Amino acid sequence: MTQLPDALRDARPVASSDLRERVRLIAAPEPASRRALPWRRVVLVTAPAALAAAAIAGVVVGLQGGGGSRPQPLALASGATVAGQAGSQRRALAPTALPPSPTRFQDYRASLTLQVPDANALSDRTKRAVRIAQRLGGVVARVDVSTSGRRGSAFVVVRVPIAKVTKAVAQLGELGRIVDQHVSVLDVQRRIDTLRQKVRDTTGDARTAAQKQLFAELWKARLSPIAVSLQTPPPVVPKPHHPSTAGRILHAEGRIALYAGLIGGPLLGLVLAGWLARRGLRRLSERRLLGA
């Protein structure tokens, strides 16, 4: 029994370097573990907060988009001029013709703008305007017709005796819906009397010139020009659509969600890739340690 301790003391076994390293690792104090980031809690908190912020932003943008509504022009299917005020209604104009003076010479002029249904009606009403002038003893000074498909326009100028100008305006006004009209009457009695006196008092070339001017003034005073413009309805302009407040809010939130997806999607992918890489490296390190 007394020889065994002496034998062990004399042998003096030496530990290998591998064993020493393991003992050192076991005896070494454990490093202070860093507090792991509670990412699940972060996600549970930040996700609802981000959704709430996006919803609030959408509501704000939608409400701002509806402020300061501007008046929109009234789209008409016809050419009538209508005031864009509340309660205003379209009304067809009635043909108006001032009766000419039976005792004085006048320069009587009238113009009408009529609307007809289509190009076929435009051609028919143009022919009827010519027949009206001829039936009342007048002449046709100009006819201009242009059509394309179901649309078109025409311009007719007739001259009728001033005694029948009222009847002519009334009959021409029945060819379509009147959207504009104009009548002007200018008294030329004094001018004609002056030219007549000049013809009596002059001779030669001066008298000839005065006679030409007198004949021109008398011709204008006896035949009144009436210009008739015929046109088809213009294309109907669709009324502008005004989305409701809820629609503007949903539209704004949709845009915010799209932008958030385009910007936050790649960032979220990078964060997820980094987290997976870190987790993989940690597991690889643990496997190496256990294998050693």
Mean pLDDT of 47-51: 62
Residues 29-57, mean pLDDT to the nearest whole number = 59
- Mean pLDDT estimate for the chain: 74
Q: For residue 97, what are the contacts with CB-CB under 8 A and spacing of at least 6?
A: 110, 165, 166, 169, 170, 183
Q: What is the mean pLDDT of residues 90-116?
A: 78
What are the angstrom distances between the C-alpha of 109 and each of 4, 61, 222?
149, 58, 11
SS (H, E, C) the chain: CCHHHHHHHHHCCCCCHHHHHHHHHHHCCCCCCCCCCCHHHHHHHHHHHHHHHHHHHHHHHHHHHCCCCCCCCCCCCCCCCCCCCCCCCCCCECCCCCCCCCCCCEEEEEEEEEECCCHHHHHHHHHHHHHHHHHCCCEEEEEEEEEECCEEEEEEEEEEEHHHHHHHHHHHHCCCEEEEEEEEEEECHHHHHHHHHHHHHCCHHHHHHHHHHHHHHHHHHHEEEEEEEEECCCCCCCCCCCCCHHHHHHHHHHHHHHHHHHHHHHHHHHHHHHHHHHHHHHHHHHHHHHHC
Q: Is the pLDDT of residue 113 over 70?
A: yes
- Tokens representing 93? 């104009």
pLDDT number for residue 28:
57
From 29-38, 128-137, 178-187, the region with the lowest mean pLDDT:
29-38
Residue from 273, 272, 179 nearest 232 by CA: 179
User: Domains of the chain: which residue ranges?
Assistant: 107-187+222-231
The per-residue pLDDT for 84 is 37
Whether 75 and 238 have beta carbons less than 8 Å apart is answered as yes
Is-above-0.85 flag for pTM? no
Q: What is the pLDDT of residue 9?
A: 64
Output 54 or 201, whichever has higher pLDDT: 201
The four Cα atoms 160, 165, 171, 176 give a dihedral, to 10 degrees, of 90
Between residues 13 and 223, the one the model is more confident about: 223
What confidence tens digit (pLDDT) does each residue in 133-152 have?
Answer: 999 999 999 999 988 888 89
Confidence of residue 87 (pLDDT cuts 50, 70, 90): very low
Give Cα separations from 142 to 18, 64, 148 (angstroms). 120, 57, 21
Q: In what order do the strands lie in the sheet with 139-148?
A: 139-148, 151-161, 223-231, 106-115, 177-187
CA torsion angle 259 260 263 264 (round to 10): -170
Average pLDDT (167-182) is 91
Please report which confidence band the pLDDT of residue 129 belongs to, taking 50, 70 and 90 as the band edges: very high
Position 100 scores a pLDDT of 83
Report d(CA 65, CA 104) in Å as an integer. Answer: 65
Fold of domain 107-187+222-231: Alpha-Beta Plaits (3.30.70)
pLDDT value at residue 159: 93
